[in-house]
Amino acid sequence: MQLMRIGAVGAEKPVVRIGDEGYIDVSDVVSDFNEEFFGSGGLATLPGIVAERVEAGRVTPFAGERIGSPIARPHQLLCIGLNYSDHAAETGQAIPAEPILFTKSPNTLIGPNDDVRIPRGSTKTDWEVELGIVIGKRTSYLDSVEDARDAIAGFVLVNDVSEREFQMDRGGQWSKGKSAETFNPAGPWLVTQDEIADVNALSMWLDVNGVRRQNGTTSTMIFDPYFIVHHLSQFMVLEPGDLINTGTPPGVGLGFKPPIFLQPGDVMELGIDGLGTQRQTLLAPR
């Protein structure tokens, strides 16, 4: 399935995408794609409801509605740093021995085509196309990497927007450079695992003002999604609906010589195979 939330900010309704034809509205049986939905086994019951409604001809064509993040605000938003071998090389840093973990404020989550605002005082706002993992059930102390598959609801395209001065030159606190408002566009849809043949072989890209900046593949991940979920479960409880950003391939602005950073009016476009595309315009600081 491909889960979406459409509508105005704060008034999104949950729907299931039916290819390019349109969507099935499930807002009468699902309040939202949130912790309650995932934790109560909603992913198991929804396919039958959707199939019945498709059979009954209840597919609604898209009509230019705003697309929100495919999940409601999560309990936590976790991120893995330097998780692509070629990205670690471009930054001149060693390949980590185990996942580098930092957090991002959950209120950074926005829709895939919403505007991104450059923070006040920023000179080094940067882009990062990433694969996101959505947790499907309360999870801790998984016994094996293989067990992590049952803990995952699906995958989503994210842009882990970053402010490099705040991240690297202000006391080494990565979260400060990651948590500005609008810094985590997600979507357009969450794809359940059954629709992805191999999550470790997905092409991904990002353009700025029509110029290709990132062009990579999840095959160069150091720690794959299943390893990451298993690893994190040894240190914390993962809640249903939690989002994990899994790192970015090379081509971020920081890696250019000299570095290239985002300016008001710039446009980012990005995508991952099977997970759709995004487009954001950069706004000036408040």
Full-model pTM: 0.96
User: What was the pLDDT predicted at 188?
Assistant: 98
User: What was the pLDDT predicted at 94?
Assistant: 79
CATH tag for 71-283 (out of 3.90.850.10, 3.10.105.10, 3.90.1150.10, 3.40.1260.10):
3.90.850.10
- What residue ranges do the domains of the chain occupy? 2-67, 71-283
Which 3-state string (H, E, C) describes the chain? CEEEEECCCCCCEEEEEECCCEEEECCCCCCCCCHHHHHCCHHHHHHHHHHHHHHCCCCECCCCCCEECCCCCCCCEEEEECCEHHHHHHCCCCCCCCCEEEEECHHHEECCCCCEECCCCCCCEECCEEEEEEECCCECCCCCCHHHHHHEEEEEEEECCEEHHHHHCCCCCHHHHCCCCCCEEECCCEEEHHHCCCCCCCEEEEEECCEEEEEEEHHHECCCHHHHHHHHHCCCCECCCCEEECCCCCCCHHHCCCCCCCCCCCEEEEEECCCEEEEEEEECCC
Q: What is the mean pLDDT of each run of 10 residues along the chain (286 residues)?
A: 97 97 96 97 96 97 97 97 81 84 96 98 97 98 97 98 89 86 98 96 98 96 97 98 97 94 98 98 97
User: What was the pLDDT predicted at 86?
Assistant: 76
User: What was the pLDDT predicted at 234?
Assistant: 98
User: What was the pLDDT predicted at 90?
Assistant: 73
User: What was the pLDDT predicted at 101?
Assistant: 95
User: What was the pLDDT predicted at 169?
Assistant: 79
